[in-house]
Amino acid sequence: MDTLKISIKRILCAAVVAALSILSFAGFASASDEGRAAKIVKETCENCHRFSGPPKSKFTLDAPDMMWSGVKYQRDWALRWLEGKEEALYPNGYRWDSKKKDSKHPALSSSDAKAVADYMEKNFRDPRVQKNALDLSRFTEMEAGFGADIYKKYSCIGCHQIMEDGKKVGGPISVTLYSAGKRYTADWLYRFAANPQDFTPHSGEYLADLSALGARYIVGYLMTLGIDGYKYYEPWKSEYFQKADPERGAAVYKTYCAQCHGFKGEGDGPGAAGLDPKPAVHAKMPLSEMPEDYLYNVVYHGGKSVGKSPSMPDWGLTFPPQDFADLIKYLRVTFKGQ
């Protein structure tokens, strides 16, 4: 009996030892990747990049700062960059003010690149950059269009190149943005846009006067650059439209739209008197024939979004998504033209 107990104990011990050694081997393997990455960063990367310290002017640096590298890049892009498979980002070299040109960027083997990318993701996070700060899961093509307008109206194009009809356009001062959608995380861009000086002070950077929505448009737009067939959200194909209810829509119309368009859509609400052009006479328009996406944009983003009067308000911030679906259903079942 005793010998049996002893041998069972022995078998158990052997099993525990085996399990422990598998675990410690796994632990040892990743510790060694991490150690190898730390060594590469220290011995190679730190010759040019900083991985700690306060933000500083680029005119005192040799290469972009890496303190936030763990949250700035998309992993696939970071791997390609580290393996030397991406083109340079700064058309005139990182330091356009210096005659010295950037030497070819060191390229790592794919296993070293992976180890370094892991190491950056683990160690160089930035608490200012919040995960999912910007939700682009409902980003529409119209919003991207507003972002593209901002890109030109706020002189982004003066300093950062993008691609138009296969050609690079814009001032080649700072980083190129034509493949921004493959490179950055939206969260980092969103935080950067809030105040570039928190990252690249005294470097020739520029702070645009953007509202929260404006920041969404420009960052969302950047995230489409370089992505073939970017998948935009199409509200008129959403679950809200599937369960749209014209009676609920009628109530919204009465409260908000009748002020100008009149209770019956005759264009005779009290607001009409002071407006030129006059509010559309829905009762005479075949809204039933108008595409849902058009009606959605006109109501959500206002008359100005489709080249009509800005007196037709943009209701995007006023209503929840279900109201738009209900309203548009109401417009389409009620107004059939004459």
Residue numbers at the binding site for ligand HEC (CB under 6 A) = 40, 44-45, 47-49, 58, 63-64, 69, 81-82, 88-90, 94, 102-103, 105-106, 108, 116, 154-156, 158-160, 173-175, 189, 192, 196, 200, 203-206, 208, 218, 256-257, 259-261, 271, 275, 277, 279-280, 295, 298-299, 303, 308-309, 311-313, 315, 327
Round the CA-based radius of gyration of the chain to a whole number and report it: 29
- Closest by CA to 169, choosing from 217, 225, 215, is 225
94 SS3 class: coil
**CB of 145: closest distance to ligand HEC in angstroms?**
15
Which residue, 63 or 163, is less far from ligand HEC as judged by CB?
A: 63
Distance CA 184, CA 45 (A): 20
**CB of 288: closest distance to ligand HEC in angstroms?**
12
**CB of 139: closest distance to ligand HEC in angstroms?**
16
Distance CA 165, CA 179 (A): 14
Which residue, 19 or 126, is less far from ligand HEC as judged by CB?
A: 126
Q: CB neighbours of 144 closer than 8 A, spacing ≥ 6? A: 217, 220, 221, 224, 230, 232
163 SS3 class: strand
**CB of 270: closest distance to ligand HEC in angstroms?**
10
**CB of 241: closest distance to ligand HEC in angstroms?**
15
Distance CA 97, CA 88 (A): 17
Which residue, 179 or 309, is less far from ligand HEC as judged by CB?
A: 309
Query: How many CB atoms are closer than 10 A to CB 29?
Result: 10
Which residue, 175 or 251, is less far from ligand HEC as judged by CB?
A: 175
Which residue, 21 or 47, is less far from ligand HEC as judged by CB?
A: 47
> What Å distances lie between residue 204 and 93, 99, 174, 182, CA to CA?
15, 18, 9, 24
Which residue, 8 or 289, is less far from ligand HEC as judged by CB?
A: 289
> What Å distances lie between residue 176 and 145, 157, 230, CA to CA?
20, 10, 19
Which residue, 140 or 301, is less far from ligand HEC as judged by CB?
A: 301
CB contact at 8 A, 296 and 138: no
**CB of 53: closest distance to ligand HEC in angstroms?**
16
**CB of 323: closest distance to ligand HEC in angstroms?**
8
